[in-house]
Amino acid sequence: MKVIEHLDRATKPLISFEIIPPLRGGNVQKLLLLIDDLVRYKPPFIDITSHAAQVIYQETTDGIRRVIKRKRPGTLGLCALVQNKYDVDAVPHVLCQGFTCEETEDFLIEIKYLGIDNVLAIKGDDNGYQKPVRPDRSINEYAIDLVEQIVRMNRGVYLENEQLVDAEPSSFCVGVAGYPEKHFEAPNNEIDVRYTKAKVDAGGEYIVTQMFFNNAHYFDYLARCRAAGIEVPIIPGIKILTSKRQVKSLPRLFHCEIPADLADEVEAAPAEHVSDIGVEWARRQTEELLAKGVPSVHFYVMQSSEAVCKLLDNIDL
């Protein structure tokens, strides 16, 4: 079922999760145990992140060696597991960064054959490696370009459509990303919302926000989007802070603000109590969001379910 259909049919707010594939060569059993924990809360859909190749420098006896590899392959396989083993709709992330349009089309065909109805179309992070593009290949520079490619495929228009006979349309529900605290590349909030509206006008059917730790950012973003004419569901994204290190790393990696009250409390606490502080903070966030009528709450779980399970066990869903 499509994400937008889950949202339309829901009689109460939904809960969804985002997970990350294991490192190359990692054991998938640990991730399956994580999913076992998550499905107890009956999520209608689970997002699975995608990762492009990047440059890795390895120290060897002969010196430093430059290696290009995908550190976390496996998105397609995890989507198949989530969709078929757990009977939960999988939402693979589809990236511009690091993939050609041709590779994207191949991936979309694969997930179409798996019966997957949903994708989240995002630009992806700059990982410091610019993949060379052959003259006979093309790229999607921005997320709106990727949305347009998926929508064309939904109309049965493939990249080499003139060579295809009776090309079968896909039927993907397309989600896009939103940034309550402004995307770091946007010059200001107004233009950032304008970019988001362009993605929605191109075919984005719902928005999932970047993580935030101050609900005021989400409510302000929601108001600005509605004022701009964006009417699609806007799902807030929540991340539970679980370590002192994240007070500095999350703002750097995700361009989000850690409120002073939360940062001060974490810095003053023993390391073993930080997760409890993060859970309590996210619990208050989630309860306020639910009370204000959000359609769903999306949790950035990534690799550990312990904190989010502790939170959800203490919320009346």
Which CATH number does the domain 3-243+273-312 belong to among 3.20.20.220, 1.10.8.60, 3.40.50.150, 3.50.50.60? 3.20.20.220
Distances (CA, A) of 170 to 45, 101, 119: 19, 16, 12
Q: How confident is the model at residue 144 (pLDDT cuts 50, 70, 90)?
A: very high
**From the CB of residue 206, how many other CB atoms can be counted at a distance below 10 Å?**
23
Q: Name the residue among 101, 76, 102 with its Cα closest to residue 90.
A: 76
Q: Who contacts 289 (Cβ-Cβ below 8 Å, separation ≥6)?
A: 215, 218, 236, 238, 297
Q: What is the pLDDT of residue 56?
A: 58
Q: What is the pLDDT of residue 149?
A: 97
Q: Name the residue among 120, 65, 58 with its Cα closest to residue 89.
A: 120
Q: Who contacts 93 (Cβ-Cβ below 8 Å, separation ≥6)?
A: 47, 48, 49, 50, 75, 119, 120, 122
Q: Is the pTM of this model over 0.85?
A: yes
Q: Report whether pLDDT(85) > 80.
A: yes
- Report the mean per-residue pLDDT for the chain: 91
Domain boundaries, the chain: 3-243+273-312
Mean pLDDT of 63-69: 58
Could you give the CA distance from residue 248 to residue 284 in angstroms, rounded to a whole number? Answer: 22
**3-class DSSP string for 218-271:** HHHHHHHHHHCCCCCCEEEEECCCCCCCHHHHHHHHHCCCCCHHHHHHHHHCCH
Mean pLDDT of 264-280: 96
Could you give the CA distance from residue 62 to residue 314 in angstroms, rounded to a whole number? Answer: 54
Could you give the CA distance from residue 140 to residue 142 in angstroms, rounded to a whole number? Answer: 6
CB-based burial of residue 265 (10 Å sphere; 0-12 exposed, 13-18 middle, 19+ buried)?
A: middle
Distances (CA, A) of 256 to 210, 217, 225: 8, 10, 19
Q: What is the pLDDT of residue 165?
A: 62
Strongest mean pLDDT among 45-49, 58-62, 135-139? 45-49
Mean pLDDT of 72-82: 90
Q: What does the block give as tokens for 210?
A: 């970047």
Q: Report whether pLDDT(31) > 60.
A: yes
**From the CB of residue 232, how many other CB atoms can be counted at a distance below 10 Å?**
19
Could you give the CA distance from residue 13 to residue 101 in angstroms, rounded to a whole number? Answer: 35
Helix (H) or strand (E) holding 178: strand 173-178
